[in-house]
Amino acid sequence: MLYATDNNARAFFQNVSSKCSKVVTESYSTSFSIAIQMLDRSVRGDIYNIYAFARLADEIVDTFSNNDHRQTLFNSFYNDLEKAIENKVSTNPILNAFQYTFHNNKLSINWVRGYMNSMQMDLGEIRSLTPDEFEKYIYGSVKCIGLMCLKVFVKNDKEKFESLRNSTLSMWSAFQKVNFLRDIGEDFQNLNRTYFPNINYLSLGEKEKQIIVEDIEIDFNNAAPGIRLLPKEARFGVYMAYIYYKELLKKIKRTPVETIKSKRVRISNCTKVKLLCRSYLKHNFFGKTI
Protein backbone atom coordinates (compact mmCIF):
# COMPACT_ATOMS: atom_id res chain seq x y z
CA MET A 1 0.00 0.00 0.00
CA LEU A 2 2.82 2.42 0.82
CA TYR A 3 4.44 1.72 -2.57
CA ALA A 4 1.18 2.48 -4.39
CA THR A 5 0.75 5.68 -2.42
CA ASP A 6 4.30 6.73 -3.25
CA ASN A 7 3.66 6.08 -6.92
CA ASN A 8 0.47 8.12 -6.79
CA ALA A 9 2.28 11.01 -5.10
CA ARG A 10 5.04 10.94 -7.71
CA ALA A 11 2.51 10.87 -10.54
CA PHE A 12 0.66 13.80 -8.96
CA PHE A 13 3.87 15.85 -8.70
CA GLN A 14 4.76 14.94 -12.28
CA ASN A 15 1.37 16.19 -13.42
CA VAL A 16 1.80 19.45 -11.48
CA SER A 17 5.27 19.86 -12.98
CA SER A 18 3.94 19.44 -16.51
CA LYS A 19 1.22 22.00 -15.85
CA CYS A 20 3.93 24.45 -14.75
CA SER A 21 5.73 23.90 -18.06
CA LYS A 22 2.55 24.61 -19.96
CA VAL A 23 2.00 27.86 -18.02
CA VAL A 24 5.57 28.99 -18.74
CA THR A 25 5.16 28.27 -22.46
CA GLU A 26 1.81 30.03 -22.77
CA SER A 27 3.08 33.01 -20.76
CA TYR A 28 6.20 33.58 -22.84
CA SER A 29 5.17 32.65 -26.39
CA THR A 30 1.69 32.94 -27.84
CA SER A 31 3.01 31.85 -31.25
CA PHE A 32 4.57 28.60 -30.06
CA SER A 33 1.60 27.99 -27.78
CA ILE A 34 -0.76 28.12 -30.76
CA ALA A 35 1.49 25.73 -32.71
CA ILE A 36 1.77 23.34 -29.75
CA GLN A 37 -2.02 23.31 -29.38
CA MET A 38 -2.16 21.95 -32.93
CA LEU A 39 -0.07 18.93 -31.94
CA ASP A 40 -1.68 15.67 -30.90
CA ARG A 41 -2.12 15.23 -27.15
CA SER A 42 0.28 12.30 -27.22
CA VAL A 43 3.24 14.62 -27.94
CA ARG A 44 1.99 17.99 -26.72
CA GLY A 45 3.06 17.65 -23.08
CA ASP A 46 6.64 16.72 -23.92
CA ILE A 47 7.01 19.77 -26.16
CA TYR A 48 5.76 22.02 -23.37
CA ASN A 49 8.37 20.43 -21.09
CA ILE A 50 11.19 21.03 -23.58
CA TYR A 51 10.18 24.64 -24.27
CA ALA A 52 9.86 25.54 -20.58
CA PHE A 53 13.29 24.12 -19.74
CA ALA A 54 14.85 26.09 -22.61
CA ARG A 55 13.01 29.26 -21.57
CA LEU A 56 14.29 29.12 -17.98
CA ALA A 57 17.91 28.91 -19.09
CA ASP A 58 17.37 31.69 -21.62
CA GLU A 59 15.82 33.92 -18.97
CA ILE A 60 18.92 33.69 -16.81
CA VAL A 61 21.21 34.94 -19.57
CA ASP A 62 18.85 37.53 -21.07
CA THR A 63 16.34 38.93 -18.60
CA PHE A 64 18.88 39.03 -15.77
CA SER A 65 21.46 40.70 -18.03
CA ASN A 66 22.25 43.43 -15.49
CA ASN A 67 22.56 41.05 -12.56
CA ASP A 68 26.09 40.54 -11.26
CA HIS A 69 25.17 37.02 -10.15
CA ARG A 70 24.12 35.69 -13.57
CA GLN A 71 27.03 33.25 -13.79
CA THR A 72 26.27 31.91 -10.33
CA LEU A 73 22.58 31.56 -11.19
CA PHE A 74 23.43 29.84 -14.45
CA ASN A 75 25.87 27.42 -12.80
CA SER A 76 23.30 26.59 -10.13
CA PHE A 77 20.62 25.96 -12.75
CA TYR A 78 22.98 23.80 -14.84
CA ASN A 79 23.95 21.77 -11.77
CA ASP A 80 20.28 21.28 -10.86
CA LEU A 81 19.59 20.21 -14.45
CA GLU A 82 22.30 17.56 -14.40
CA LYS A 83 21.08 16.28 -11.03
CA ALA A 84 17.48 16.17 -12.24
CA ILE A 85 18.48 14.00 -15.19
CA GLU A 86 20.72 11.79 -13.07
CA ASN A 87 18.23 11.34 -10.20
CA LYS A 88 15.12 11.29 -12.41
CA VAL A 89 13.44 13.82 -10.13
CA SER A 90 13.79 17.47 -9.10
CA THR A 91 12.06 19.82 -6.68
CA ASN A 92 12.20 22.40 -9.49
CA PRO A 93 8.94 21.57 -11.32
CA ILE A 94 10.23 22.72 -14.73
CA LEU A 95 13.35 20.57 -14.47
CA ASN A 96 11.29 17.71 -13.08
CA ALA A 97 8.99 17.86 -16.10
CA PHE A 98 11.96 18.04 -18.45
CA GLN A 99 13.80 15.07 -16.95
CA TYR A 100 10.64 13.00 -17.45
CA THR A 101 10.56 13.93 -21.14
CA PHE A 102 14.32 13.36 -21.40
CA HIS A 103 14.12 9.80 -20.12
CA ASN A 104 10.77 8.88 -21.64
CA ASN A 105 11.96 9.82 -25.13
CA LYS A 106 15.60 8.76 -24.75
CA LEU A 107 16.94 12.21 -25.59
CA SER A 108 20.67 12.72 -25.98
CA ILE A 109 22.53 14.40 -23.13
CA ASN A 110 24.72 15.98 -25.82
CA TRP A 111 21.72 17.96 -27.07
CA VAL A 112 21.01 19.22 -23.55
CA ARG A 113 24.62 20.24 -23.03
CA GLY A 114 24.81 21.73 -26.52
CA TYR A 115 21.92 24.01 -25.66
CA MET A 116 23.44 25.01 -22.34
CA ASN A 117 26.79 25.71 -24.03
CA SER A 118 25.08 28.26 -26.29
CA MET A 119 23.41 29.85 -23.29
CA GLN A 120 26.85 30.05 -21.66
CA MET A 121 28.06 31.99 -24.70
CA ASP A 122 25.38 34.60 -23.99
CA LEU A 123 26.90 35.24 -20.59
CA GLY A 124 29.97 36.67 -22.29
CA GLU A 125 30.43 39.91 -24.18
CA ILE A 126 29.05 38.99 -27.61
CA ARG A 127 29.77 42.05 -29.72
CA SER A 128 29.86 39.88 -32.82
CA LEU A 129 30.43 36.24 -33.71
CA THR A 130 32.78 34.62 -36.20
CA PRO A 131 31.11 32.33 -38.78
CA ASP A 132 32.24 29.26 -36.79
CA GLU A 133 30.94 30.72 -33.52
CA PHE A 134 27.66 31.60 -35.22
CA GLU A 135 27.16 28.03 -36.44
CA LYS A 136 28.07 26.69 -33.00
CA TYR A 137 25.57 29.03 -31.36
CA ILE A 138 22.80 28.15 -33.84
CA TYR A 139 23.43 24.44 -33.31
CA GLY A 140 23.18 24.64 -29.54
CA SER A 141 20.49 27.27 -29.13
CA VAL A 142 17.89 25.85 -31.54
CA LYS A 143 19.06 22.82 -33.52
CA CYS A 144 19.54 20.78 -30.34
CA ILE A 145 16.03 21.79 -29.25
CA GLY A 146 14.71 20.85 -32.69
CA LEU A 147 16.30 17.41 -32.46
CA MET A 148 14.71 16.89 -29.05
CA CYS A 149 11.29 17.74 -30.49
CA LEU A 150 11.84 15.50 -33.50
CA LYS A 151 12.72 12.60 -31.20
CA VAL A 152 9.40 13.12 -29.42
CA PHE A 153 7.49 13.29 -32.72
CA VAL A 154 8.90 10.06 -34.20
CA LYS A 155 8.55 8.13 -30.93
CA ASN A 156 11.99 6.53 -31.07
CA ASP A 157 11.71 5.44 -34.72
CA LYS A 158 15.43 5.72 -35.56
CA GLU A 159 14.97 5.42 -39.32
CA LYS A 160 12.30 8.13 -39.36
CA PHE A 161 14.44 10.34 -37.15
CA GLU A 162 17.46 10.14 -39.46
CA SER A 163 15.35 10.77 -42.56
CA LEU A 164 13.98 13.99 -41.04
CA ARG A 165 17.11 15.21 -39.26
CA ASN A 166 18.42 17.57 -41.96
CA SER A 167 15.08 19.21 -42.72
CA THR A 168 14.52 19.69 -38.99
CA LEU A 169 17.91 21.35 -38.57
CA SER A 170 17.16 23.70 -41.49
CA MET A 171 13.78 24.67 -40.07
CA TRP A 172 15.06 25.50 -36.61
CA SER A 173 18.00 27.36 -38.11
CA ALA A 174 15.52 29.50 -40.05
CA PHE A 175 13.47 30.15 -36.91
CA GLN A 176 16.51 31.35 -34.96
CA LYS A 177 17.82 33.56 -37.76
CA VAL A 178 14.40 35.20 -38.07
CA ASN A 179 14.51 35.84 -34.32
CA PHE A 180 17.98 37.37 -34.63
CA LEU A 181 16.86 39.67 -37.44
CA ARG A 182 13.65 40.64 -35.67
CA ASP A 183 15.51 41.41 -32.42
CA ILE A 184 18.66 42.90 -33.96
CA GLY A 185 18.06 46.40 -32.54
CA GLU A 186 17.07 45.22 -29.08
CA ASP A 187 19.99 42.77 -28.88
CA PHE A 188 22.51 45.45 -29.83
CA GLN A 189 21.14 48.28 -27.71
CA ASN A 190 20.19 46.34 -24.58
CA LEU A 191 22.50 43.31 -24.59
CA ASN A 192 25.46 44.51 -26.66
CA ARG A 193 25.08 41.58 -29.08
CA THR A 194 25.24 41.19 -32.83
CA TYR A 195 24.86 37.55 -33.74
CA PHE A 196 25.19 37.63 -37.52
CA PRO A 197 28.84 37.20 -38.56
CA ASN A 198 30.54 39.79 -40.77
CA ILE A 199 27.73 42.27 -40.10
CA ASN A 200 28.39 45.71 -38.63
CA TYR A 201 25.20 46.77 -36.90
CA LEU A 202 25.94 50.47 -37.18
CA SER A 203 26.33 50.28 -40.96
CA LEU A 204 23.66 47.62 -41.55
CA GLY A 205 21.69 48.55 -44.67
CA GLU A 206 19.14 47.07 -47.06
CA LYS A 207 21.81 45.19 -49.00
CA GLU A 208 23.08 43.41 -45.89
CA LYS A 209 19.52 42.70 -44.76
CA GLN A 210 18.71 41.15 -48.14
CA ILE A 211 21.73 38.81 -47.86
CA ILE A 212 20.48 37.63 -44.46
CA VAL A 213 16.92 37.20 -45.75
CA GLU A 214 18.06 35.13 -48.73
CA ASP A 215 20.06 32.85 -46.42
CA ILE A 216 16.99 32.32 -44.24
CA GLU A 217 14.83 31.59 -47.28
CA ILE A 218 17.24 28.81 -48.28
CA ASP A 219 16.77 27.26 -44.82
CA PHE A 220 12.98 27.47 -45.17
CA ASN A 221 13.10 25.82 -48.59
CA ASN A 222 15.28 23.00 -47.27
CA ALA A 223 12.91 22.48 -44.34
CA ALA A 224 9.69 22.25 -46.36
CA PRO A 225 9.94 18.65 -47.67
CA GLY A 226 10.45 17.27 -44.17
CA ILE A 227 7.22 18.77 -42.82
CA ARG A 228 5.20 16.71 -45.29
CA LEU A 229 6.87 13.55 -43.96
CA LEU A 230 6.33 14.19 -40.25
CA PRO A 231 4.04 11.83 -38.31
CA LYS A 232 0.44 13.05 -38.41
CA GLU A 233 0.54 13.72 -34.63
CA ALA A 234 3.07 16.51 -35.23
CA ARG A 235 2.61 17.64 -38.83
CA PHE A 236 0.04 20.40 -38.47
CA GLY A 237 1.58 21.94 -35.35
CA VAL A 238 5.01 22.10 -36.98
CA TYR A 239 3.42 23.44 -40.15
CA MET A 240 1.80 26.25 -38.13
CA ALA A 241 5.15 27.27 -36.62
CA TYR A 242 6.71 27.17 -40.11
CA ILE A 243 3.94 29.34 -41.59
CA TYR A 244 4.14 31.85 -38.74
CA TYR A 245 7.88 32.33 -39.10
CA LYS A 246 7.66 32.59 -42.88
CA GLU A 247 5.03 35.30 -42.47
CA LEU A 248 7.25 37.08 -39.94
CA LEU A 249 10.17 36.97 -42.39
CA LYS A 250 7.96 38.43 -45.15
CA LYS A 251 7.03 41.32 -42.87
CA ILE A 252 10.68 41.89 -41.91
CA LYS A 253 11.58 41.84 -45.60
CA ARG A 254 9.05 44.64 -46.27
CA THR A 255 10.17 46.68 -43.25
CA PRO A 256 12.98 49.27 -43.70
CA VAL A 257 16.21 48.51 -41.87
CA GLU A 258 16.01 51.65 -39.74
CA THR A 259 12.58 50.59 -38.50
CA ILE A 260 13.85 47.11 -37.65
CA LYS A 261 16.65 48.69 -35.63
CA SER A 262 14.24 50.79 -33.58
CA LYS A 263 11.11 48.65 -33.36
CA ARG A 264 10.48 44.93 -32.99
CA VAL A 265 8.51 43.56 -35.93
CA ARG A 266 5.46 41.61 -34.79
CA ILE A 267 2.61 39.58 -36.24
CA SER A 268 -0.72 40.78 -34.84
CA ASN A 269 -3.02 38.35 -33.04
CA CYS A 270 -5.61 38.95 -35.75
CA THR A 271 -3.11 37.88 -38.43
CA LYS A 272 -2.15 34.83 -36.37
CA VAL A 273 -5.80 33.73 -36.28
CA LYS A 274 -6.11 34.24 -40.05
CA LEU A 275 -2.96 32.18 -40.62
CA LEU A 276 -4.34 29.43 -38.41
CA CYS A 277 -7.69 29.30 -40.22
CA ARG A 278 -6.14 29.44 -43.69
CA SER A 279 -3.56 26.78 -42.81
CA TYR A 280 -6.20 24.54 -41.24
CA LEU A 281 -8.31 24.63 -44.39
CA LYS A 282 -5.33 23.91 -46.65
CA HIS A 283 -4.08 21.10 -44.45
CA ASN A 284 -7.34 19.35 -43.57
CA PHE A 285 -9.56 19.94 -46.59
CA PHE A 286 -7.13 20.21 -49.48
CA GLY A 287 -4.41 17.93 -48.14
CA LYS A 288 -1.73 20.60 -48.54
CA THR A 289 0.99 21.74 -46.21
CA ILE A 290 3.68 23.78 -47.93
Per-residue pLDDT tens digits for 197-245? 988 888 889 999 999 999 999 999 999 999 999 999 999 999 999 999 9
Residue pair 118/136 in contact (Cβ under 8 Å)? The answer is yes
CATH of the domain at 276: 1.10.600.10
Collect the ranges in the chain with pLDDT lower than 50. Answer: 1-4, 285-286
pLDDT of residue 289: 59
State which residues form the domain around 249. 2-285
Q: ∠ CA 176-235-114 to the nearest 5 degrees?
A: 35
Residues 218/256, Cβ–Cβ less than 8 Å: no
Can you give the pLDDT at residue 9? 82
Answer whether residue 290 is part of any domain: no
Pair 162, 151: CB distance under 8 Å: no
In this predicted structure, what is the pLDDT of residue 1?
Answer: 38
Answer whether 175's CB lies under 8 Å from 216's CB. no
Q: Is residue 143 part of a domain?
A: yes
Counted domains in the chain: 1
Q: What pLDDT score was predicted for residue 287? A: 55
